[in-house]
Structure 1
Amino acid sequence: MEASPSATIIYTHTDEAPLLATYSFLPIIQAYASKAGVQVETRDISLSGRIISQFPDRLTAEQRQPDALAELGELAERPEANIIKLPNVSASIPQLKAAIKELQDQGYDLPDYPESAQSAEDREIQAKYDAVKGSAVNPVLRQGNSDRRAPASVKNYAKAHPHRMGAWSADSKTRVATMGHDDFRSNEQSVVLEADDTLTIEHVAADGTVTVLKEKLPVLAGEVVDGTFLSVSALEAFLAEQIAAAKADDVLFSLHLKATMMKVSDPIIFGHAVKTFLPALFEKYGEELASAGISANDGLGWVLSAAEKLPDGEAIKKLVADGLASGPKLAMVDSDRGISNLHVPSDVIVDASMPAMIRIGGHMWGPEGEEADTLAVIPDSSYAGVYQTVIEDCKANGAFDPATMGSVPNVGLMAQKAEEYGSHDKTFEAPADGTIRVVDSAGNELIKHEVRTGDIWRACQTKDAPIKDWVKLAVTRAKASGAPAIFWLDEGRAHDANLIKKVNTYLAELDTDGLEIKIMAPAEATAYSLERIRKGEDTISVTGNVLRDYNTDLFPILELGTSAKMLSVVPLMAGGGLFETGAGGSAPKHVQQLVKENYLRWDSLGEFFALAASFEHLAGFADNARAQVLADTLDRATGTFLNEDKSPTRRVGGIDNRGSHYYLARYWAQELAEQTEDAELAAAFKPLAETLAGQEETIVGELNGVQGSPADIGGYYRPDDELAAKVMRPSKTLNEAIASL
């Protein structure tokens, strides 16, 4: 009999290392959950799966698959939702093209991504691909606000086994450079809608010609709508200044953007940086590259690869080499392979790259594989001050001490495509000099900007209900933890000024007696939190969507060495639960290591935490006592797992992801066999616990014995299920033990 929705957990099938780990861990989850009457199903929201779902008419019946993301989006708005979301690829254009090529090679009749869509057919194809690129998943599933924190077991482990931190020097040259004018922050305008309406975004050229950029933009009463733009002439001047400054100061030049989540604006900014760094190349061959469909927005790596097929390819490569040699040293992604900060827009993601730089003493890696001080270029000034404040603190006080430092949990406003991450369908390059404006259904002008050709204009929406829910969640967490809750809002920024009014209104409706709740601008809030961190004190950061992303990498990487060990719960506004398993920024390197030497160092600790929270939520929703037993025993097993240090090691010879799953399964079975709440459940798990403990040497030998040789998984973006399962489940003894359950 099919399980009812209330007894079902959806475990998402995603990408890269988290997907490979799923082949190993999911059979364990499904076997254990079945004993509680819980069905664990998968839905394919991987990049390849999202691509395939867009083109059913071109594929065979066997190749077609439904739009699982749309299905889960509908489920997220129902109270029975219980979704465990693993990290997925937020595809940049180069990643999207690579995934399309791999699928084509696997026999999928998919069209190429049209660089310049001229025909109606090309525009339709481009629209379908645009629907899956960037962070297509998160805005659909995140129908609630974010509660993200380090579980006590993780924090205690980090204090007992502190990770290594690089030393900081007071005379470090590392700093952040940001525009501070003519950028998104400084040009922002914001309005609060008094009534439900439908808005229009339009461009008015100098000659009066009106071009509709976005029609039928529905808004609700109380919704905050923002519009802003970044001047490309100011951007290019800023970038040129920073390139010169990096060379003069003899520091690495490093650009930090979010070309995945900010999938429209940031690749354009990235392209301007590539052009500004290599002016001679684009002055001489810009038209030839453009006519061949080669865009600087896709990165220097794409330019070099595509140049191989051009008549002037050798001359282009020489100009690139000359430009790199004459400019400042570039920060590198992989110095051994010559992959620089400007090669691929999705390689250096600000929320992961900046904390990593701070963690190792303000250094990044240079072209010769050496650590060096860095000029970190973050063009828009909205949040750049957060990182500069941390750098200044480290210069003054030295590196943080993970053994004693406090924590900064986060309550993030992200429901219903809140703020910048919902701007993709409302971001445009100005087609000509003129005005871009937002008008209501009566023709009233709400927002207006004078723009020049190529300026990057965007609008954002933040609905009132998520704001109210966010404030309530912040108060709930402050009460539960006893820590101060700081709203990171800048009264000098138009959007934040409107949010501050709403925050004050909704705080007045809640019981905040005895709670310390403050509103501070981001840089000020950073300094306040750092002062407390150094005293070992915790401070809740209550932030908008982008700072949610930044803070839930910044502080965990400093505290724990990684952001993958966080508990991330999204209480959905309809009553269900979304349980996220951590960040996936290092996932690509993990896959490369697996393919090269059959070793996956991905740490599934985030999955363990999310699964326990999912079982606990299900226990309450479905009145399933056994699900609560599974949650409680998994929590205790995870504590043992940490204390016994069974996380994957970094190199061949130690236990990897597969070995860590064995130990988790073993400790979990032992806890279930020894618990006294459910005698029948204990009896069911006792034989398994004995087998897993008694066969440790055999199982670990089978798991580790495959290491050291290449592994064939049949694809990067779409592995072959049979091959991947074979690679990720190499222990016959463990597989038979789990199957016996």
Structure 2
Amino acid sequence: QKVTNTLAELGEKTLKPDANIIKLPNISASVAQLKAAITELQAKGFKIPDYPESVKTDEEKDIRARYNRCIGSAVNPVLREGNSDRRAPKAVKEFAKKNPHSMAEWSQASRSHVSHMHSGDFYHGEKSMTLDRARDVKMELITTSGNTIVLKPKVSLKDREVIDSMFMSKKALLEFYEKEIEDAHKTGVMFSLHVKATMMKVSHPIVFGHCVRIFYKDAFEKHAALFDELRVNVNNGMVDLYNKIATLPQSKQDEIKRDLHACHEYRPELAMVDSAKGITNFHSPNDIIVDASMPAMIRNGGKMWGADGRLKDVKAVMPESTFARIYQEIINFCKWHGAFDPTTMGTVPNVGLMAQQAEEYGSHDKTFEIPEAGVA
């Protein structure tokens, strides 16, 4: 049941100067999608192990490490060995101009806006330096209790390479969520969360999970012991919670669902992914990906779907201040000048040199959830 490692073959091709690789849109997989794929393969007779939720033995560590290679956009770091040239071919652009997709009107009275952190996010906790020579570094956490936890024993760096580090404060993040949820509730604007949990496969599921837990805080506090016992992990979305409680007696399931529902009384309305099926923004972290969800919201005149199947103004929450501000600028532009016109709009080619398995911060094996207070 072995198949060839085509990704490794692709990696070899990137090193050849005459290779010309065309990248099609690919899926950045989340843990939920990975598990679904494993179940499907097992059903077709492939003898592969389950994805281990928590790891204790060396074998489980090995299984998880192998599977984790498939999470996120596995092909990107391989392709990034070479030059990248992303542009819309002329024929595609001409077709788009002649057959424009629908664009909703923008109102100057629109209450839609972007909310981001002003301190405590990655941008505000960044430090970098250029190396004076090739050297190895190790990454460790010196805890306030005086212990040293090794996060990464060895990373080899080259002469003149830039090493860059940043952190996001959990405390600041939770305070930010509390404030924004409260603001949306008070002002009557729908709440939505936009992250990129598929690509930022280490950091953003954590950022996503914290928002879900704050939104349903009372229910999570009441059932904390039970959720721990069931290993509920809403970093994988509310779908993880629903799947885990499905093993409980019906009366207990109903009680939990009632408690979750009760939270909505003092919470803002939540943006929907599928109003008809009752699937909210919190259902699964891969349902709303910021660089697809925000353009969709902008094309809809700054609106997203509510539970009643209507388009409504929305607070778009994205904790990180870096890309959040770009989207706010677009909203300002549309409110002032009206919707964009696909029949006349230009296009931006993206040409760049990337190398040595370049990956976004928050997606590689040098991103860590810090287990206790200290200095990294």
Residue matched to 2:283: 343
Q: Does 1:364 align with 2:295?
A: no
Query: Aligned match of 1:210 in 139, 148, 154?
Result: 148
CA contact (8 A) 1:203 1:435 kept: yes
Residue matched to 1:42: none
- Measured after TM superposition, the shift of residue 405 of structure 1 is 2.3
Any gaps of 5 or more consecutive residues in structure 1?
1-62, 437-741
SS in 1 for 2:95: helix
Residue matched to 2:348: 408
- Measured after TM superposition, the shift of residue 326 of structure 1 is 3.7
Q: Which segments of structure 1 move beyond 6 Å, counting only runs of 4 or more?
A: none
Q: Distance in 1 between matches of 2:281 and 2:197?
A: 13
Residue matched to 2:203: 265
SS in 1 for 2:21: strand
Higher relative contact order (CA 8 A, sep 6+): 2
- Measured after TM superposition, the shift of residue 145 of structure 1 is 3.4
CA contact (8 A) 1:190 1:227 kept: yes
SS in 2 for 1:211: strand
Q: Does 1:287 align with 2:225?
A: yes
Residues 355-434 of structure 1 aligned to structure 2 (within 5 Å): 355-412=295-352, 414-418=354-358, 420-421=360-361, 423-434=363-374
Q: Distance in 2 between matches of 1:401 and 1:235?
A: 37
- Measured after TM superposition, the shift of residue 151 of structure 1 is 2.1
SS in 2 for 1:420: coil
CA contact (8 A) 1:261 1:421 kept: no
Matched to 1:100, the amino acid is: I
Q: Distance in 1 between matches of 2:38 and 2:360?
A: 27
Residue matched to 2:116: 178
Q: 1:174 to 1:422 in 2, by over 3 A?
A: closer
Residue matched to 2:294: 354
Q: Distance in 2 between matches of 1:259 and 1:412?
A: 24
Q: Does 1:304 align with 2:242?
A: yes
Q: 1:84 to 1:404 in 2, by over 3 A?
A: closer
Q: Does 1:332 align with 2:305?
A: no
Q: Distance in 1 between matches of 2:235 and 2:362?
A: 21
Q: Distance in 2 between matches of 1:418 and 1:118?
A: 31
Q: Does 1:144 align with 2:82?
A: yes
Residues 674-713 of structure 1 aligned to structure 2 (within 5 Å): none
SS in 2 for 1:84: coil
CA contact (8 A) 2:204 2:362 kept: no
Q: Distance in 2 between matches of 1:247 and 1:422?
A: 30
SS in 1 for 2:224: helix
Residues 443-462 of structure 1 aligned to structure 2 (within 5 Å): none
TM-score normalised to structure 1 length: 0.49
- Measured after TM superposition, the shift of residue 422 of structure 1 is 7.2
Q: Distance in 2 between matches of 1:145 and 1:415?
A: 8
CA contact (8 A) 1:193 1:224 kept: yes
Q: Distance in 1 between matches of 2:284 and 2:70?
A: 19
Q: Does 1:97 align with 2:41?
A: no
- Measured after TM superposition, the shift of residue 243 of structure 1 is 0.9
- Measured after TM superposition, the shift of residue 222 of structure 1 is 2.0
- Measured after TM superposition, the shift of residue 421 of structure 1 is 4.6
Q: Distance in 2 between matches of 1:287 and 1:74?
A: 49
CA contact (8 A) 2:181 2:215 kept: yes
CA contact (8 A) 1:363 1:372 kept: yes
- Measured after TM superposition, the shift of residue 220 of structure 1 is 1.2
TM-score normalised to structure 2 length: 0.95
The structure richer in helix per residue is 1
Matched to 1:93, the amino acid is: V
Residue matched to 2:135: 197
- Measured after TM superposition, the shift of residue 423 of structure 1 is 4.5
Structure showing greater Rg: 1
Matched to 1:210, the amino acid is: T
Q: Distance in 2 between matches of 1:74 and 1:266?
A: 30
Q: 1:180 to 1:306 in 2, by over 3 A?
A: same
SS in 2 for 1:213: strand
SS in 2 for 1:382: helix
Q: Does 1:163 align with 2:101?
A: yes
Tell me the percent identity.
51
Q: Does 1:74 align with 2:12?
A: yes
- Measured after TM superposition, the shift of residue 413 of structure 1 is 5.1
Q: 1:93 to 1:256 in 2, by over 3 A?
A: same
Residue matched to 2:375: 435
Q: 1:83 to 1:404 in 2, by over 3 A?
A: closer
Matched to 2:271, the amino acid is: A
**RMSD (Å) for aligned C-alpha atoms:** 1.6
Q: Distance in 2 between matches of 1:202 and 1:93?
A: 26
Q: Does 1:187 align with 2:129?
A: no
Residue matched to 1:233: 171
SS in 2 for 1:134: coil
Any gaps of 5 or more consecutive residues in structure 2?
none
